[in-house]
């Protein structure tokens, strides 16, 4: 039995009939082809699947697509401006080399944006604590923290 689903994804209205057990991450990747949202652990521990739902970071492997009914969903693909300009957080990750293999990067960027929106002047300890729910096996987090601080300065203007 399928259920009708309507939401806005990256500023565009989306309608679909889905199995009620479909996870939001599956819907984004399989139905909409938005593969920037990664599936890492399937248990909401790694953060690779982080997206924004109505402005809040959520781990989309832990949310049913129907729970986002009527919501505004923003994925990593939705951060790029129409003219191709990167979001300040994406640019900071690039500039500070806050990535290596890149698998965790989309979820890390989405979590970092949420972090800065909630804690604009966050210090290093707060950034590290807030990003604990996003696992990176490559970087050691030093450059990620540096990138978040750099982006926060730009986002605050």
What pLDDT is attached to residue 45? 87
Give me the mean pLDDT over the 69-96 stretch. Answer: 97
Q: Look-up: residue for tokens 């957080």? A: 89
Q: Cα–Cα distances in Å, from 119 out to 33, 127, 135, 157?
A: 32, 9, 20, 14
What pLDDT is attached to residue 65? 98
What pLDDT is attached to residue 140? 79
Give me the mean pLDDT over the 44-64 stretch. Answer: 96
Nearest to 16 by CA among 73, 76, 27: 27
Q: Tens digit of pLDDT for each residue in 12-51?
A: 999 999 999 999 999 999 999 999 999 988 888 899 999 9
Is residue 81 exposed (0-12), middle (13-18) or buried (19+ Cβ within 10 Å)? exposed
d(CA 115, CA 96): 18
Q: Tens digit of pLDDT for each residue in 99-153?
A: 989 899 999 999 999 999 999 999 999 999 999 999 988 887 999 999 999 999 9
pTM: 0.95
Whether the Cβ atoms of residue 90 and residue 112 lie closer than 8 Å to each other: no
What pLDDT is attached to residue 94? 96
105-118 and 142-155 helices, crossing angle to 10°: 50
What pLDDT is attached to residue 157? 67
Which domains are present in the chain?
3-79 (3.10.20.30), 88-155 (1.10.150.120)
């Amino acid at each position: 039995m399928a259920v009708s689903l309507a939401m806005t994804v990256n500023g565009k209205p989306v309608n679909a009939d889905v199995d009620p057990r479909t996870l939001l991450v599956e819907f984004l990747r399989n139905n909409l082809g938005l593969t920037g949202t990664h599936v890492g652990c399937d248990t909401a521990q790694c953060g690779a699947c982080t997206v924004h739902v109505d402005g809040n970071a959520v781990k989309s492997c832990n949310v049913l697509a129907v729970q986002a009914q009527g919501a505004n969903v923003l994925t990593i693909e939705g951060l790029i401006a129409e003219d191709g300009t990167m979001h300040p957080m994406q640019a900071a990750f690039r500039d500070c080399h806050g990535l290596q293999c890149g698998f965790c990067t989309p979820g890390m960027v989405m979590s970092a944006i949420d972090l800065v929106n909630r804690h604009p002047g966050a210090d290093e300890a707060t950034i590290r604590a807030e990003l604990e729910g996003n696992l990176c096996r490559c970087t050691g987090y030093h450059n990620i923290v540096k990138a978040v601080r750099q982006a926060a300065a730009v986002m605050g203007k």
